[in-house]
Amino acid sequence: MSGVLSAAQRRDLDALTALIIPTDEDAGAREARIVDFIDRGLTSFAGDQRTLFEQGLTDLESRAQRSGGRAFADLDPAAQLALARELDAGKSEFFGAVRVATIAGFLANPEYGGNTGKVGWQLIGFEDRFGWQPPFGDYDREPSPG
């Protein structure tokens, strides 16, 4: 998987995407490998966002160093969350782009490098069968519920 981001940038980005779609009893952005989706996207279909991501990650690194004296990925969870909220509240274009990319990668076709193992689709209940017959759900069964 060739990308444009450094190992340190990938670690920070991975941590940030894991705040957007966290891991709980179900897989989140980390297990879906969103960082691969984004890194690969920046060399192809999202090439026009490369500068935004690179500058945003540089800024994230310096914010993390200022507030916690270490890389964003190495901050404790509360400090990471505080920084992410600060970016979101400040309407950071970078944070907005990471949010959209994380969600898009999580639910895009797996061949784009995110949604690994279709974990995104499993979370929302989407089955990629692409061909259905009635009954489609509960309300078109007989008897129909409530």
Partner 1 sequence: MITIVNHHPARSAARTDTQPRFAAGETVDFAIVGAGAAGGVVARELARAGFTVVVLEQGPHLQKEDFHHDELAITALSALTNDPKTQPNTFRSSESDEAQVRPVVQYGRLVGGGSVHFTGNYWRMHEIDFVERSRKGSIEGTGFTDWPITYAELEPYYSKVEWEMGVSGLAGSSPFDPPRSRPYPLPPLPVKPAGVLAERAARKLGWHAFPAPMAILSQPYRGRPPCIQCGFCKTFGCEVGAKSSTLAAMFPDAAATGRCEIRPVSYVRKIELDKRGHVTGVKYFDSGKREMFQRARAVVVCANGAETPRLLLMSRSKLFPDGLANSSGVVGKHLMFNGYAFAGGLFEHRINGYRGMVVTRVIHDLYELDPRLGIAGGGGFDFRFDWGPIGFALEGLPKEAPNWGPEYKGMLRDYYIRSVYVLAHATQLPMPNNSISLDPKLTDAWGLPAIRMTFADHPNDLKLYAYLLDRAIELLDAAGATRRWAYPLERAFPEVHLLGTCRMGNDPATSVVDRFNRTHDIPNLFLVDGSSLVTSGRGQPTMTIQALAFRAAEHAARLARRGELSKRS
CA-to-CA dists, residue 45 to 23, 42, 101, 137, angstroms: 27, 7, 12, 36
Beta-strand ranges (E) seen in the chain are: none
The answer to whether residues 112 and 33 touch, using CB atoms and an 8 Å cutoff, is: no
Q: Which is nearer to partner 1, 66 or 128 (CB)?
A: 128
Which 85-144 positions form the footprint of partner 1 (CB under 8 A)? 88, 99-100, 102-104, 106-109, 111-112, 120-121, 123-126, 128, 130-140, 144
- Amino acid found at 138: D
Shortest Cβ 100–partner 1 spacing (Å): 7
Query: Which residue ranges make up the site for partner 1 (CB under 8 A)?
Result: 19-22, 24, 26, 28, 44-48, 88, 99-100, 102-104, 106-109, 111-112, 120-121, 123-126, 128, 130-140, 144-146
